[in-house]
């Protein structure tokens, strides 16, 4: 089976995401995760390269990159290495600073 590559586009606030072309993707993820949409929450926007498909993942201090990778597998995609490292470092920074991503 051909694997697609998921690449990080950006980590933005929910408010920014809801005012962009990925608003539907963020709303679907929130519904899937049973989350309220907090405008100050951060969300990672990934593109499945070679497609017009986007995936959104909420980024918290307890974000588990392995769960993101497992979810992407359901779509036949793997997270590229650089994107994985960026998300990991972002989460580490959130934990080091004790903040919600700002």
Q: What are phi and psi of 58, to 5 degrees?
A: -70, 140
Mean pLDDT of 2-30: 95
CA–CA gap between residue 50 and residue 75 (Å, rounded): 13
pLDDT at position 20 over 50: yes
Residue 101 has pLDDT above 50, yes or no: no
Strand arrangement of the beta sheet that strand 42-48 belongs to: 54-59, 42-48, 4-13, 77-79
pLDDT at 71: 94
The radius of gyration computed from the CA coordinates of the chain, to the nearest angstrom, equals 13
Please tell me the distance from the alpha carbon of residue 24 to that of residue 18, in angstroms, as a whole number: 8
pLDDT band at 65 (very low <50, low <70, confident <90, very high): very high
Average pLDDT over residues 69-73: 94
């Amino acid at each position: 089976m051909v694997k697609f590559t998921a690449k990080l586009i950006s980590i933005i606030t929910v408010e920014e995401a809801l005012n962009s072309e990925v608003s539907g993707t963020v709303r679907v993820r929130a519904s899937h995760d049973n989350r309220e949409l907090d405008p100050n929450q951060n969300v990672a926007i990934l593109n499945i390269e070679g497609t017009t498909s986007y995936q959104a993942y909420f980024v918290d201090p307890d974000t588990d990159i392995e769960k993101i990778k497992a979810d992407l597998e359901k779509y036949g995609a793997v997270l590229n290495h650089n994107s994985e490292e960026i998300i990991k470092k972002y989460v580490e920074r959130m934990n080091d600073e004790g903040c919600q991503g700002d």
